Each structure stands twice: as C-alpha cells, then as structure tokens.
Structure 1
Amino acid sequence: MPGTVWYRDDFDATPVCEQLRDALGGIGTDEDAVIRLLGNHSWKQRLEIAESYKTAYGKDLIEDMKSELSGDFEEVTVAMLTEPRKLDAQELHDAISGAGTDETTIVEVLCTKTNDEIEEIKAVYKEMFDSELEEDLCSDTSGYFRRLMVSLMAAGRQENGFNVDDDQAAEDAQKFFDAGEARWGTEEAELNAILCLRSRPQLLMTFYKFEEIAGKTIEESISDECSGDLQEGYLAIVESTKDMPGFFARRIRDCVDGLGTRDSHLIRIIVTRSEIDMEEIEEAYRAKYETSVLETIDSECSGDYKKMLVALVTLQE
C-alpha cells in the first residue's frame, strides 16, 4: 500500500481511549500523546477510537479536542477524526460559504474523485447542511466554470476499466484541437463532455493523440487558450488523470509557495492522501522540487501542528 498510514490488525480502541483521556484530562494537555495516539492509526480506527471514547466517558472526542487544542493543531486533529467524505463535504461548504469562493478547494475535491465518491459527497452534504451541493455551487459560481462543476457532479464518468477506443480518442483529440483553433469556450460544452464523461484511461489516450495533432501538450493548449477558474479546473482533470501523485505534489507546493502557508489546503491534502498514495506523492515531490515533503513541512510549519503532519507523512513501521 503506497500510503504512509494504514489500518493496524492488532488494534484495540480501549487502551487508546484511556490514554487519550489522560492526555486531555490532566493539568495541561499532553500534546505529544495526542500526536502519538492519533498519528499512527487509520481514519477508520480513529473513528472507532472516537466511538469508544464516547461510550466510555459520555463525551465527544472531537469536542474535547476543540476545547483543549487550538489553531492549526486543532484543525488537523479534527480533520483526522472526520470521515473522509464528511471532510470533503465540510471543505466544500466552507469553500462556498466563506468570504469569496475558494475555487481551488472546489476543483481539487471534485476533479479527483470517482463517481461513487462524488455521489457519497453529495449525499453527506445534503445530510449535513440540508441543502443540495449542486444548487449551492451553482449559486456561488458562474459561466463555463459553473458548467464544468455541474458536469462533474453528475458523476457520469465512464468506468470501463482499462478498455480504450483509439478511434474515439482520435476524434476527441481533434475536437480539442479545433476548439483551440477557434479559441476555447466556443466548444466548451463538447469539451466538458469529453473531460467529464470519458474514463481516465480513455482520456490518457486522447491527450496522447492531441499531442500528435497539435505538436504540444494538452496542458500547454489549455494554458494558452483558457484562464481563471476554468483553466484551473481543466488542468486539474488533465494532471490528475496523467499523474495523480504528481498533481498532489504540485498542490502541496502551491500551499507553501509565496507569502504564508495555506494551512487549510495543506491539512486537507496530507490527511486525505496519507492513507492513499503519500509515498508516491513524496517520490513525485522529490523529482519535481529536489526536496522532500517532510523537509518542506519542517521549514514551513511549527510546533505540535508540524509534529502531527510529520507523523502523517512518515512511513509507519
């Protein structure tokens, strides 16, 4: 498994709960114990710990964490105790409800999910906020970007394994090329259909055929012909299709580039990818930036927050 955190077969929630109770209930909080106890268990086991904690002590573990911790350390710990699709739904709600729309979060969450995951997010969002995700997104976005998001939320991507139709790929590649020649946007509906309906392996072949026709990559064409949120959305689909770990490596770099660290974005990526492909993200990150995710966290973050992120990206023994 290419994640750095995984489910432990010898797991027993009871002693972990007792130790967490001691860490949170004494004079002052034992932050190192919180990091040690939560940082080396999978999210499923953390949820078991939270359930056992409530049963044993009649208290909500997340609420206790919120009352004892603060800042980025609190945020990463709460994220770790939240079911992944609930975390996605919460992040999308925050992206829509905040001052201005956080398109980067919307793109990252929706452009990298499977059909089943998108359907789960929509159901959880409805349950959590008594509102339809599509309606909320449509009220907060506009134009071609809104249409792209609606297409993605339809969750209609073909999932036919690794079967690839070369003729279809050539036809779709020509559509991309023709749209570029006519300036992107005029053929936006067709481009949405291709990017949101074709399977990932089919898209890979389409991108290869496009490069043969155009003499440049699909990313270069999108960057030349699109701008703003639509460009970001299209590029996210292309990059995550070509190389999902590479996409998240770039996203981690984006979080720390420039003035200040975008901690909420960094937390979401590290927490969610730690059980999926963090080892591969690390490899891609080293190849792209000649440094490690661990070294980047060390230089950009501090305190207990840094310690928890380090625990999540460090390969467990």
Structure 2
Amino acid sequence: MAMVSEFLGQLTLAYGGCEPKFPTVVAVRDFDPAKDAARIETAVKTKGVDEQTIIDILTRRSYEQRREIAFQYEKLAKKDLISALKAALSGPLEAVMLGLMKSTAQYDAFQLKASMKGLGTDEESLIELVCSRSSEELLDIKKVYKEMFKKDLEKDVAGDTSGNFAKLLLALVQTKRDEPSNVVDYEKIDQDARALYEAGVQKRGTDVAVWISIMSQRSVPHLQKVFDRYKSYSPYDMKESIKMEVKGDLEKSFLTLVECFENKQLYFASRLSDAMKSKGAKEKVLTRILVSRCEVDLMKIRTEFKKQNGKSLYQTIAEHTKGDYQKALLSLCGGDD
C-alpha cells in the first residue's frame, strides 16, 4: 500500500496546461545516481549478468533520473550505458530497457520510424501511435523525430501511406486541433454532428474529407459532445457509422480516434487485453504500451483494465509472460489492483 500511496501522492505533478498525468513510474526519493551506476556496472560484469538489479533500478526511476544514471555510468565505466545494456541483455527484456533510456517522445518517434521502416508498413502500430496521441504529444514527437532522423514525420507518413488513410494521418500529424474552451458552442456542436451524419450515413458513399476535417481539428471535449448529439440525427452511433461507411486501415484509424476521444485509457486497456488474449502475448504491443505510458497514464489504464476484464493488469501480465521480461513489465505496471 505504501508504494501505491506514494504514486498517488505524485499524480498531481503534471497539470501544466496539458492533460493530467497518472504515472506508475515516478522519481524515486533519496536518489543517488552514482550508486545506481555502480550497481549497474557490477550487474553487467557479473558472470551471467545480474538482470534483476538492472530491472530494479531502471524500471523504478523516472526518465530524468535514468539520464543522470547514464551520465554517471559513462564517467565510471568509460563507455555509454546504452551500449552496455545492448551487450548484456537480449530479446524482449533488452527492448524494454533500451526503451526506458529514451524520453516518452523519443520512444514514440523511434516506434513510428520502426513502423515505417523497410518493406511494408506496420499499419497497426502507426495507427495506435498517431491516433492515440494528443496534439501536445504529437508536437513533441515531431520535434524529436526531426532531431533523431533528420526527416519530417509528415514526409515519412506521406511516403509510406496512401489515399484517405494518408490524408487522415497527415491531418492529425499537422496538429491543427482546437484548444479546449470553457465556452460550450451548442450551435457548432449541432452543425458538426449534422455534417458528420450528412457526409456519411445519410448519403450514398462517404465524404471522408468532412469526417477528417472535423475529427482532426475540433477539441476533444467538443467532439465528445458532437458524438452524443450525432445520435439525435443518426440511427447509429459514431462507431457503428464508421464500421458501415469505411473499411480497412481508414476504419481502424477512425475507430481508434473515437475510442480515444471517449476514453483513451480504456482504449489502451483494450489493446493490452487483445495482446494477451492468445497463447503467448504479443510482446511488441505489450512493451510499447507499458514503456510509452508508464510515465503518462498507466495507473489509469490499470484501473480501466480491471473494470473491463474483472482481473488486474498485473495478474494478466504474470499469466502471459515469463522470466526477466515478466519481472520488468510487472515492475513498470507498479502493483496489483
């Protein structure tokens, strides 16, 4: 309980005009980066590698603290920590630890690049990363993407996708979404709801451009009211309408957007649940969500997961993973519910 109350005590850390944060990984008190660096150096030099020590340290420090450890490690060992981790670890555990050495925006940028690299695009990852991130997150990702890869995210997305799917992703990456307002514009809510209906269910064929424009530019609180109002025009709700009107990656993208507008943490909980439905978890999805959300909203995702599945995220991860990878994920999860 002490651990949970310590987390909850720090949840108010990050309003700052952005979305509030509900992390499971927070800065540790009485932090000693030199001591942590020395412990990691001993762990990687141990015959057989002491993975447990590496997990204990890196999964229970904030990103800023991990950076300080890396700085101290380089002073101590005369080599960088990332190279040391690559040499000492392998498989999914290595993916988690290397992911934790990046900031949330760097990690997302890296994942986006990976989803568009080589032959064939990993559309599922691309959709999750672009459609679930807020405008603030996307602005950070774009900046970091340019720094890391010397290319614009927009150009890479345009070069790797096509048709209306490309148009929707590009509209989102351009981050033209309105800021939430304290004033509720009922007339605009009604206009948008009617426009969505008239561009889709009411006509033969779909005017996708109208859907893209409204869903990529309006604020999230406004869209939540639009979807509610939409039901007074259409016999189907917005998600049912999407399934009837469009197919393939475009359908998945619009559905992801609506799910995230309605309840982003429930969306991630569902993704985690699906990733652990089959025998042997989809490690890529599990790793990506836990690493990218542990300092953002994983505490809330945990709550939604328990509500949705009747079983905690912690217990489900324990059942579907094993070894050091399991230990790392359970530590990021931050406790049982």
Cα distance in 2 for residues equivalent to 1:288 and 1:3: 20
* Per-residue deviation, 1:171: 0.8
**Structure 2 residue 80 is matched with structure 1 residue 60:** yes
1:125 alignment partner in structure 2: 145
Cα distance in 1 for residues equivalent to 2:203 and 2:120: 28
1:82 alignment partner in structure 2: 102
Q: Identity across aligned pairs (percent)?
A: 34
TM value normalised by structure 1:
0.94
| Contact persistence 1:144–1:185 (CA under 8 A) | no
Q: Which moved more, 1:289-298 or 1:306-315?
A: 289-298
| Contact persistence 2:294–2:332 (CA under 8 A) | yes
* CA deviation map 1:122-160 (0-9, x unaligned): 222222222221111111111110000110111111113
2:186 alignment partner in structure 1: 166
Cα distance in 2 for residues equivalent to 1:10 and 1:26: 26
**Structure 2 residue 251 is matched with structure 1 residue 231:** yes
| Contact persistence 1:47–1:81 (CA under 8 A) | yes
Q: Summarize the Cα distance change of 1:239–1:184 in structure 2 as closer, same or farther, 3 Å threshold.
A: farther
Q: Summarize the Cα distance change of 1:239–1:84 in structure 2 as closer, same or farther, 3 Å threshold.
A: same
Residue of structure 1 aligned with 2:265, choices 225, 241, 245: 245
| Contact persistence 1:164–1:201 (CA under 8 A) | no
SS in 2 for 1:159: coil
TM value normalised by structure 2:
0.89
Q: Which runs of 5+ in 2 are unaligned?
A: 1-10, 12-21
* Per-residue deviation, 1:276: 2.0
2:276 alignment partner in structure 1: 256
| Contact persistence 2:314–2:335 (CA under 8 A) | no
1:51 alignment partner in structure 2: 71
Q: Summarize the Cα distance change of 1:235–1:183 in structure 2 as closer, same or farther, 3 Å threshold.
A: farther
Cα distance in 2 for residues equivalent to 1:117 and 1:103: 20
1:189 alignment partner in structure 2: 209
Cα distance in 2 for residues equivalent to 1:76 and 1:188: 38
Residue of structure 1 aligned with 2:314, choices 269, 294, 300: 294
Q: What's the C-alpha RMSD, in Å, of the aligned pairs?
A: 1.8
Cα distance in 2 for residues equivalent to 1:169 and 1:95: 35
* Per-residue deviation, 1:193: 1.0
**Structure 2 residue 24 is matched with structure 1 residue 20:** no
Q: How many residues align?
A: 316
Cα distance in 2 for residues equivalent to 1:23 and 1:158: 49
Q: Summarize the Cα distance change of 1:184–1:3 in structure 2 as closer, same or farther, 3 Å threshold.
A: farther
SS in 2 for 1:287: helix
Cα distance in 2 for residues equivalent to 1:184 and 1:70: 53
Q: Which moved more, 1:219-228 or 1:239-248?
A: 219-228
Q: Which moved more, 1:266-275 or 1:1-10?
A: 1-10
* Per-residue deviation, 1:20: 0.6
Q: Summarize the Cα distance change of 1:22–1:183 in structure 2 as closer, same or farther, 3 Å threshold.
A: farther
Q: Summarize the Cα distance change of 1:19–1:211 in structure 2 as closer, same or farther, 3 Å threshold.
A: same
SS in 2 for 1:51: helix
Q: Summarize the Cα distance change of 1:45–1:289 in structure 2 as closer, same or farther, 3 Å threshold.
A: same
* CA deviation map 1:199-255 (0-9, x unaligned): 010001101101222243211111222211111111111111111110110111222
Q: Summarize the Cα distance change of 1:18–1:100 in structure 2 as closer, same or farther, 3 Å threshold.
A: same
Cα distance in 2 for residues equivalent to 1:75 and 1:243: 28
Residue of structure 2 aligned with 1:206, choices 221, 226, 233: 226
* Per-residue deviation, 1:190: 1.4
Residue of structure 2 aligned with 1:180, choices 191, 194, 200: 200
| Contact persistence 2:154–2:174 (CA under 8 A) | no
SS in 2 for 1:212: coil
* Per-residue deviation, 1:75: 0.5
Cα distance in 2 for residues equivalent to 1:48 and 1:263: 28
Q: Which amino acid aligns with 1:93?
A: K
| Contact persistence 1:183–1:225 (CA under 8 A) | no
